[in-house]
């Protein structure tokens, strides 16, 4: 007999700046079939998705409530003061082209996002527009110059301020580049640890590669907001039948066996408050691996395993 759910959840981050997004993960046990979320201060303010993403536009501290339901009944979990939204006080350097009458940024595309802006006079702040990216995912881009007359060789660079420190000079923050007299396109892999929201800068400069904070003669600069959702996964119970975890209850070590091998398994141990207490990257060779839980207090935990883009969730007991 299946009992009613025990509602629980976690978030990919609990602290964002205004305009930031938070991805929530259902950790409820006993196989719920429906979910009802409430997000104070969030957009949307309610959701029936299992793993929703919510945007917070106003500074403050907000609670989150989840009601999980199955045929046996329902259970509600409320986490007060769970999400903290701070004022966005990061200042970015200025950058622009002084003359856009000969060439300008016509269109930018990142995945499903597209903006056909035309001539903006050398710079435009499009941070009211959000480019949604998935951490760890391969993302396509297309950058198109505009020419009212003759065509010229344009150099493009795209930066993302992954660590949100107000510049674009850190390692891996230059995500795309190229040059030519027509549209350029390609792909880049989004930083797998990226969370929340940040700034993207797209620069097109005539006849030379731009830097992120320069003022130059011919071309344009555009700034956008980027929001990072949850890593691409399937439902959290999808592979439950393919995972064997023992001993139960656990003492010092948990042995985890999975029938599907992959390069690396990301293992996250949550306590029943939804806090991640252990995170590990383990070699998943199809023969099993061990997780050290000796530092954890006795009680009930939720073990989440991400491998080959799929997520498994299991409840465990530690002595």
* Tens-place pLDDT, residues 178-222: 999 999 999 999 988 787 788 999 999 999 999 999 999 999 999
Q: Which domain holds residue 301?
A: 240-318
Stronger pLDDT, 21 or 33, i.e. the higher one: 33
Per mean pLDDT, which range of 12-16, 29-33, 47-51 is the poorest? 12-16
**CA-to-CA distance for 289 and 305, rounded, in angstroms?**
12
Q: Do 215 and 94 contact (CB within 8 A), yes or no? A: yes
Q: Do 56 and 83 contact (CB within 8 A), yes or no? A: yes
What region does 49 belong to: left with phi over 0, alpha with psi -120 to 50, or beta?
beta
209 and 101 together in one domain: yes
Domain boundary among 64, 86, 108: 86
* Helix spans in the chain (H): none
For 130-180, what is each residue's pLDDT tens digit? 899 988 889 999 999 999 999 999 999 999 999 888 999 998 999 999 999
Task: Examine the pLDDT at 237 and tell me if it is beyond 70.
Answer: no
Q: Is residue 111 part of a domain?
A: yes
178 and 209 together in one domain: yes
Q: Is residue 233 part of a domain?
A: no
What is the rounded radius of gyration, in angstroms, for the C-alpha atoms of the chain? 23
Tokens representing 224? 């956008």
Stronger pLDDT, 101 or 255, i.e. the higher one: 101
76 and 116 together in one domain: no
Predicted pLDDT at 55: 84
Q: Which residues pair with 115 in a beta bridge?
A: 108
Tokens representing 250? 């656990």
**CA-to-CA distance for 59 and 177, rounded, in angstroms?**
35
């Amino acid at each position: 007999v299946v009992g009613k759910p025990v509602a629980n959840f976690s978030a990919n981050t609990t602290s964002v700046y205004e305009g930031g997004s938070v991805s929530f993960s259902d950790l409820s046990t006993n196989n719920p079939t429906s979910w009802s979320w409430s997000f104070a201060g969030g957009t949307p303010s309610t959701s029936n998705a299992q793993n929703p993403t919510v945007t917070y536009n106003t500074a403050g501290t907000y609670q989150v409530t989840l009601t999980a339901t199955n045929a046996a009944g329902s259970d509600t979990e409320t986490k007060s003061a769970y999400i903290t939204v701070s004022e966005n006080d990061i200042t970015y350097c200025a950058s622009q082209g002084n003359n856009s009458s000969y060439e300008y940024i016509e269109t930018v595309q990142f995945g499903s996002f597209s903006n056909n802006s035309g001539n903006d006079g050398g710079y435009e702040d499009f941070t009211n527009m959000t480019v949604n990216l998935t951490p760890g995912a391969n993302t396509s881009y297309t950058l198109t110059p505009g020419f009212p007359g003759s065509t010229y060789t344009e150099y493009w660079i795209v930066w993302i301020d992954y660590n949100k420190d107000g510049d674009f000079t850190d390692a891996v923050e230059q995500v795309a580049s190229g040059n030519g007299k027509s549209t350029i396109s390609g792909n880049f892999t989004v930083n797998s640890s990226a969370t929340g929201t940040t700034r993207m800068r797209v620069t097109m400069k005539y006849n030379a590669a731009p830097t992120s904070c320069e003022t130059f003669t011919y071309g344009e600069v555009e700034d956008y907001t980027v929001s990072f959702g949850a890593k691409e996964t399937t439902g959290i119970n999808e592979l439950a039948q393919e995972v064997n975890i023992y001993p139960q209850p656990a003492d010092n070590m948990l042995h985890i066996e999975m029938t599907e091998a992959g390069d690396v398994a990301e293992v996250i141990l949550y306590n029943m408050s939804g806090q991640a207490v252990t995170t590990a990257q383990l070699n998943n060779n199809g023969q099993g691996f061990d997780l050290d839980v000796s530092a954890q207090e006795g009680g009930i935990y939720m073990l989440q395993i991400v491998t080959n883009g799929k997520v498994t969730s299991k409840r465990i007991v530690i002595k």
